């Protein structure tokens, strides 16, 4: 891949939309998706007839044809999907760009919808009685599940412990990430944790889930959906709220990436760096920007440790110093890198990385509830372990 | 009908590994024989872990399992305090270990309770046979006994 081939700013985000975020939506995943897409279309001043492409996350229960039928789309000319799971959102936007620049579609909806609390809860294990065989068929689960390693949180706890071993990171440093996200949520009435501030004392006295990770190191479980409308920049400029430029998008794996869905990444040479270190290298090269140019970031925060590791992977903090960077106020609203300004997964909602894309657009438009004044370079990451993706949005000036 | 008592739920069984996967089965065959074995390329000697058939280092499809010492060191660990699966009552500990002979190869282990662990601590393998006949390789600190309540 020659980075000079990348067409910076050729496509843009023209519309953003979300549902409300709750613990029990009482609606189907399809209804949530439909509502978020209609909100994004309304935001762009478009109607469903403008859509000819859909990109979904591989874990979404809503298929492209479900959504097309619900919206009354006459004809799709493109559909695609990315994954696994939370790796997808930035890569989904990249896939929409690819579809548009190759002429397969003109206006593409990118969405994520889930009843993550009232429906299928991630991290829950089957409780069926009787012997259960696990693994095989390329999952490699046979090396993990029989030993009681059952959830993403337990895996990230192993990463957090290792970061503590290698660099002396502390629980208070992890707590500072949870608290920063919670502070941002206090300005965001849509956030699930709006009106529920968090102190370090609250954080440290919360129950341990998988040591060293406590309750507030974990993201929320949410029913909701989020969507964006991607189109060519010229077309986006004619939309109601103008164009937010897709300056760069990158997805990348690391050498020795390991197979499977999740746990095999524990076999990689390092478990204190994610594949986002490879995404960062590509993203900075492709964007011709550096960490110092970023005004605001929405970093994937399924757990506090995930955000900490990315501070290092993307070069905002030196290796081993991500915790100190956060604890010293680096991710606060007036810090060097204001992060997760809507509250993130930890305190706004867990829409599997898609609400981060929506908030990154708001920052460029100047409409965030925790606005970074004059933000012109807005970073989003989608970064669980198997692989990662990221996106830089810029102002159309 | 509603007056009929619900039958007692049988105690849940731990999760047992698939042991006949064409790529990984040899690890469990060795475990059943009381050995820790890793898959290596038979031509260039590269470690193929997690186990798989093709060696991208030299292009060989010839590989096999080689027994390594049943010793490992603690690489990381987590004490699980939040119950997920009824067959794995909390608290318990999951350790990530690196093998003494082959530090590039890691495995995970169940340990009951909240054992005192430290990075680099030496562990020894033990072989935990389940009711279904499968064997899981577990690790424990030197001098400690296998847990009374076995997990698989």
- Touching B: A residues 17-56, CB under 8 Å: none
Express each pLDDT in A306-333 by its tens digit: 999 999 999 999 999 999 999 999 999 9
Residue B1 pLDDT more than 50?
A: no
Q: Which residues of chain A have pLDDT under 70?
A: 1-4, 125-131
Number of other CB atoms surrounding residue B10 within 10 Å? 8
- Measured between alpha carbons, how far is B46 from B44 in angstroms, rounded to an integer? 6
Which entry of A144, A167, A203, A300 is annotated as an active-site residue? A300
- Distance (Å, whole) CA A12 – CA A393: 8
Contact A207 B151 (CB under 8 A): no
For an interface test with A, the pick among B23, B30, B53, B84 (most A C-beta atoms closer than 10 Å) comes out as B84
**Contact call for B85 and A208, based on CB within 8 A:** no
pLDDT at B152 over 50: no
C-alpha span between B47 and B64 (Å, rounded): 10
Q: pLDDT tens digit string along A143-171?
A: 999 999 999 999 999 999 999 999 999 99
Residue B11: its pLDDT value, please? 63
The partner residue sitting opposite B136, judged by closest CB among A146, A207, A209, is A146
Which 333-372 residues of chain A touch chain B by CB within 8 A? none
CB A344 within 8 A of CB A301: yes
Give the CA count within 13 Å in the CB-facing half-sphere of B46.
17
Edge-to-edge strands, sheet with A223-232: A78-82, A53-57, A107-115, A223-232, A11-18, A244-252, A388-395, A377-382, A296-298
Say how many C-beta atoms besides its own lie within 10 A of residue A69's C-beta.
12
* Contact map slice: A 107-146 vs B, CB within 8 A: 123-138, 140, 142-146
CA distance B124 to chain A (A): 16
Between chains, do A162 and B96 touch, taking CB under 8 Å as contact?
A: yes
Predicted local distance difference test score (pLDDT) of residue B110: 97
Q: Are A24 and A192 in contact (CB under 8 A)?
A: no
Instruction: Please state, rounded to an integer, the average pLDDT across all residues of chain B.
Output: 90
């Amino acid at each position: 891949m020659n980075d000079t081939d990348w067409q910076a700013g050729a496509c843009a985000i023209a519309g953003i939309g979300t549902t409300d975020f709750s613990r029990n939506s009482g609606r189907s995943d399809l209804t949530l998706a439909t509502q978020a897409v209609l909100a994004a279309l309304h935001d762009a001043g478009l109607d469903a007839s403008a859509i000819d492409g859909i990109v979904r996350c591989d874990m979404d229960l809503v298929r492209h044809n479900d959504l097309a039928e619900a919206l009354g789309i006459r004809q799709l000319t493109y559909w695609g999907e990315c994954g696994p799971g939370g790796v997808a959102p930035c890569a989904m936007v990249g896939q929409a760009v690819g579809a548009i620049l190759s002429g397969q579609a003109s206006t593409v909806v990118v969405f994520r919808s889930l009843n993550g609390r009232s429906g299928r809860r991630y991290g829950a294990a089957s409780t069926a009685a009787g012997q259960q065989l696990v693994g095989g068929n390329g999952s490699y689960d046979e090396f993990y599940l029989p030993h009681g390693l059952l959830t993403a949180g337990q895996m990230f706890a192993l990463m957090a412990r290792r970061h503590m071993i290698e660099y002396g990171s502390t629980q208070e440093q992890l707590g500072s990430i949870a608290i920063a996200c919670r502070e941002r949520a206090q300005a965001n009435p849509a956030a699930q944790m709006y009106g529920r501030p968090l102190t370090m004392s609250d954080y440290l006295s919360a129950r341990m889930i998988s040591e060293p990770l406590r309750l507030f190191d974990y993201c929320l479980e949410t029913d909701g959906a989020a969507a964006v409308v991607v189109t060519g920049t010229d077309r986006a400029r004619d939309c109601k709220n103008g164009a937010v430029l897709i300056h760069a998008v990158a997805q990348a794996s690391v050498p020795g990436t390991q197979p499977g869905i999740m746990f095999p990444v524990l076999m990689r040479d390092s478990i204190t760096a994610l594949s986002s270190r490879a995404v960062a290298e590509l993203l900075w090269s492709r964007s011709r920007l550096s960490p110092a140019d970023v005004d605001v970031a929405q970093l994937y925060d399924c757990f506090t440790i995930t955000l900490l590791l990315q501070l290092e992977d993307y070069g905002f903090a030196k290796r081993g110093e991500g915790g100190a960077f956060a604890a010293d106020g680096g991710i606060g609203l007036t810090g060097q890198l204001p992060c997760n300004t809507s509250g993130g997964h930890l305190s706004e909602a867990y829409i599997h990385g898609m609400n981060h894309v929506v908030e990154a657009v708001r920052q460029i438009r100047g409409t965030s509830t925790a606005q970074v004044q004059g933000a012109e370079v807005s970073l989003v990451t989608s970064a669980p372990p198997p692989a990662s993706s990221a996106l830089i949005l810029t102002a159309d000036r | 009908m509603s007056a009929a008592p619900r039958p007692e739920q049988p105690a849940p069984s731990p999760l047992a590994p698939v042991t006949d996967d064409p790529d990984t089965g040899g690890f469990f065959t060795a475990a059943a024989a009381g050995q820790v074995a890793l898959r290596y390329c038979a031509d260039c000697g590269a470690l193929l872990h997690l186990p798989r058939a093709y060696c991208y280092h030299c292009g060989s499809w010839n590989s096999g399992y080689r027994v390594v010492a049943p010793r490992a060191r603690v690489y990381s660990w987590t004490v699980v305090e939040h119950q997920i699966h009824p067959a794995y009552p909390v608290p318990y500990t999951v350790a990530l270990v690196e093998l003494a002979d082959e530090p590039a190869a890691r495995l995970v282990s169940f340990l009951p309770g909240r054992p005192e662990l430290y990075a680099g601590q030496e562990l020894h393998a033990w072989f935990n046979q389940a009711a279904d006949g499968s064997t899981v390789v577990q690790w424990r600190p030197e001098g400690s006994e296998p847990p009374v309540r076995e997990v698989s």
